[in-house]
Structure formats: structure tokens, C-alpha cells
Amino acid sequence: MRKRLLPIAFVGACFVFVFSCTKLDTTTLGQDLIPEVDNINTFADTLDITTTQGYFLPDTTKVLYNEAHAVGHLETDPLFGKSDASIYFQLKPSFYPFYFGAAGDTTRNPGGGPGPTLPVDSVGVDSVFMCLAYTGYYGDTLTPLELEVRQLYDNVFKDSVGQEQNVNYQPTSLGNVLGSVTLDIPSIKKQVKFAHDKDSATNQIRIKITDPTFIYNLYNSDSAGIGAFKSDSLFRAAYNGFAIKQKTGGSGNAFVYISLTDAKTRLEIHYRKKKTGRPDTTYASFALYPTITTYGQPSSTGNGIVRDRTGTPSATGLSDYLFIQTSGPGTYASLSIPALANRPNQIIHRAAILIESVPDAVSPATDALFPPPDYLYLDLKDTSASAGNKWKPVYHDLNPSSPYDPDYKSGYPFFPLSGVDPTNYGGNLKYKPDGLGNKIGYYNINVTRYVQQIVTKQTPNYPMRMWAPYSLIYPQYSPEIIPYYNLIANGRVRLASGTHPDKAKKMRMVIIYSKIP
């Protein structure tokens, strides 16, 4: 089973990173508190940051099968425009050749589809539901969200067994609408009863399939005429998968998040079966099978996301602001700090990049509907000829308790094995009052050890990339996906840039240091 982890071996004996004259005040690292500046022994400098807006085109972020998938539509975001999210996945029987009821129950009543009308006590379909396991939302819960189910026709998707498509994926063809639902998002958590009150579920979205031809073909797929239930390859040829998407022309101003591996995500086929000569109502389920089984290949999945920022400030760019939207497709900011170059050797007690959000004064209610990303992240652009302008992690500060080497040359892994430690590194969203009763979101990113390396060893002062990733990948070292802390497409924020006129808000680096005699 593939996991969204970084399986990098810890190679060799433990090394110790050695800094010359690098005494650090570790009691303050990673905190909002900073050492006292007395301008006798301890000093403070504020360095300007040059910032530029950037966009991920294309964004190759993937949502793995066992992670929350977004579906829905964001309509009214004046800063970032519109967004659509669709889910694509294969639900399959648990065995082949598959049949409904007992093996001898061959009488069919397709429940309204083509074919003969049979007695009510015959084996037959009562109803079919697409069921989705709900895990949360992002956006406006008061506006109803309209979703629809379509059959997916795409041989690339069908044949990409066990693979996750990236967020740019859009199927080549979709079939007719099989069913639709209008969601009142707050009510999803309520218990829903089904199967004539014999079963129930909470946190489940249920979409009734109403297309009679689909129901008829599905229920009769074990017949000689269709035969799709005989094997996994025949089933995938007939049923490439399903798409869950915003209803064409429908309302919606939110994403809902779905777990595909939860047992509550399934295609339910409710039917009558014979039981000691009498019909009995029950249901069968098709589910996601993410790994190879005795019966067939893994299911394919995808979470396609489309952004339309046309005509918005985030698209046109404003020098005083930076617009960060969580991947994917997301946005980023390029940062450079020229004053770090050729800085004299000092004892760096703390070096931090201070980042503050700027609420939308025109539409403050929108900021409440679409809050900022939970975490920002900073990495470095290796501009050396051998690196080919690849990105790499920032040195030392991601996790001091888990040694790593962004150059991947010392025997350490290139990324902390235990992941980023936000307690030290920062990057996590915090709030502070603005003096008018409002809360202002802000981020501090700790780069103390990285700056110490620059001033002590005169290592390169790399350009930086600041963004709100869903996941990370450094392909020059490994194809594996590294998890980060944001949900897919969850969060957007307007930040004060390095040229913002308010010096108290502008993005800047603060360095607390002592001189070396």
C-alpha cells in the first residue's frame, strides 16, 4: 500500500553539524518571543525583502487515494475568483464473477429500465445510491451545494490502475448525469436511515441514481449479454469509473471533503433477493480497492481542481500585496534578501521572516468564509549550474531534532525523517488583535540556523519560495511525496508584500544578534 510518506533510509552513523562561533539562544527559537535588545550586547536589524507574485502552472500536486478529496464550487471570492473541484474514482465489486443475491437468483426486475415487467416478488432492483463519506468543508455552508454523478469514459484513467492523477487531470469524456443532490452542508452530520430503516449512517452524502438505463445495465451485468461482472478487466472496460462534480449551472460556494477509503463511500445497489421462497430486501456495495487483490487491479483516483482568477487582484498583481492560495493549483511568492549577502560573522540569536495578512476592506465577510491557509512553507532555489535551478529544503530549521541535509551529500536524508516541526520552524497561522476589535492573521518563519550558516560560512544566499503546499516533492532526490499540513485547496490569503507602505505590516526579516569581539 502506498503511503504519503518519505521512505528515506537513515544512512551511516550520526553526524553533528558544526558551526564556528554559532552559540544560539535556544530558549527563544521558534517562539514569538525574542531576546531582549539592549544595543550594548544584543542588537536588532530589520532587512528588506524583495517579493514577487508567482503561479504554479501547471500544478502537479496529487491527492493520494487515502487522503481527503475536495469536491464543489467556490463562486464569490473577489480576491481569488472561482474554483471548481471534482473527484474521479473507480468503485468495484469485492469478488468475480459477481452476482446479486444467491447464485441461483437469475430472475430480473430492472426497476424501470428496458426489459420485461416481472412480478413484484421477483429478484430485482429497488434503488441505487452513490454514497460519499463526508469529513469536512471549506467555504460558505449557508449556500446549498449542488453535486451530480456522471459515468466516466476515459481509457487513460481506466488503464492507470492504482494511480492518482494530479490536480490538472480532466477526463476526456463524461457520460450523462446519473443522479444529483442539493446539499445543506450543516445537515450532513445528521443520521440518515436507509434499507427500510434497517441501516443508518452519519456524515454521509447520499446521491440517488435515477438514470434507468444505467440501473438496468448495472443490475444485468452478470448476464451473457453484458458480462461485465465476470472479471475485473471486463468490469473496468464497461465501467471506467465515476465523476462527482458541481452540477452544471448549479449553486455552491464551498468545497466538501470526502474520504474515498472510508466504508461509507460506496455504490449501494438495493435489491430484493429470495429467502426461503420469499423475497427479502438487502443491498450490495461497490467500494474503492486501492491495492491489488485476488480478484483484480487497484482502483484509480483523481481530484481535479480548476481555478479561474480572471480579472481579480490575485491575477493582475498588486505590488503592495502577495496572494497565496493553497495548492493545487496554488500560488507562491518569490523572496530574496540581498542584505544577507556579505553580512559579517555574528552570533545569531534569532532570524525570522515576519508575514502579516491584510484583510479585504471591501468585502470583510468573504475573508471569514475563506480563511487563510493553516501553514506556510519556505524553500530555496538552488541556482548552481549543477542543480539546474531545482528547489530544495531550507537548511537546519525545519526540524532541529531530526538531522537532514538539503544537498543530500552528507549521508543524512535530504528532508527531516519526522517531518517539519512547526513549534520550531513556525509557518503556522496565528492571530493578533489590530486595536479595533479585529483579528489579524500572521505567520513567523524561523530561519535562525540558516542565517547563521550564511554569516559564518559565507554559504550562498539563495532566492526563496514561500507558498502554502498540500504536499512537497523534490524530484532531483526522490519521487516520493512528502506530506504537509494543509488540506487540498483549503485556504487563501492576501499578505503585505516587501513594498507595502505600512512598515509595521510589510514582509521583512528581523535579526537579533550579538557581535563577535
What's the rounded Cα separation, in Å, for the pair 87 and 165? Answer: 10
> How many helices (H) and strands (E) are present in the chain, helices listed first?
7, 28
What's the rounded Cα separation, in Å, for the pair 370 and 176? Answer: 32
- Give the SS3 label for residue 261: coil
- Is residue 118's pLDDT more than 70? no
What's the rounded Cα separation, in Å, for the pair 291 and 240? Answer: 17
pLDDT tens readout for residues 152-175: 999 889 888 888 999 999 999 899
For residue 362 the three cell numbers come to: 471591501
- Is residue 95's pLDDT more than 50? yes
pLDDT tens readout for residues 406-461: 999 999 999 999 999 999 999 999 999 987 778 899 999 999 999 999 999 999 99
Which residue in 213, 125, 138 sits closest to 176, CA to CA?
Answer: 213
Which residue in 272, 215, 278 sits closest to 100, CA to CA?
Answer: 272
Provide the CA 469 distance to its chain's centre, in angstroms.
8
What's the rounded Cα separation, in Å, for the pair 340 and 217? Answer: 68
- Say if residues 512 and 43 touch (Cβ distance below 8 Å): yes
- Say if residues 446 and 426 touch (Cβ distance below 8 Å): yes
Task: Measure Cα distances from 326 to 317, 323, 447, 489 in Å.
Answer: 17, 10, 22, 5
Alpha helices in 100-259 (DSSP H): 155-159, 212-219, 232-238
Q: How far apart are the first and last CA of the chain?
A: 57
Provide the CA 457 distance to its chain's centre, in angstroms.
38
What's the rounded Cα separation, in Å, for the pair 393 and 30? Answer: 17
pLDDT tier, 398 (very low <50, low <70, confident <90, very high otherwise): very high
- Is residue 340's pLDDT more than 90? yes
- Say if residues 209 and 219 touch (Cβ distance below 8 Å): no
Q: State the pLDDT at residue 102.
A: 65
Q: Taking the domains of the chain in order of start, what are their residue ranges?
A: 43-61+314-515, 82-308
- Say if residues 382 and 374 touch (Cβ distance below 8 Å): no
Share of the chain above pLDDT 70, in %: 86
pLDDT tens readout for residues 200-253: 788 999 999 999 999 999 988 877 667 899 999 899 889 999 999 999 888 899
What's the 3-state SS for 243-270? EEEECCCCCCCEEEEEECCCCCCEEEEE
Q: State the pLDDT at residue 140.
A: 95
Rounded to 5 degrees, φ, ψ at 331 are -130, 165
Q: For 122-134, what is the mean pLDDT?
A: 87
What's the rounded Cα separation, in Å, for the pair 496 and 502? Answer: 9
Q: State the pLDDT at residue 274.
A: 65
Q: For 270-296, what is the mean pLDDT?
A: 78
Q: State the pLDDT at residue 141.
A: 94
- Say if residues 300 and 163 touch (Cβ distance below 8 Å): yes
- Is residue 338's pLDDT more than 90? yes
What's the 3-state SS for 464-502? EEEECCCEECCCCCCCCCEECCCCCCCCEEEEECCCCCC
Give 391's strand partners: 381
- Give the SS3 label for residue 258: strand
pLDDT tier, 488 (very low <50, low <70, confident <90, very high otherwise): very high
- Say if residues 267 and 151 touch (Cβ distance below 8 Å): no
> pTM of the prediction?
0.88
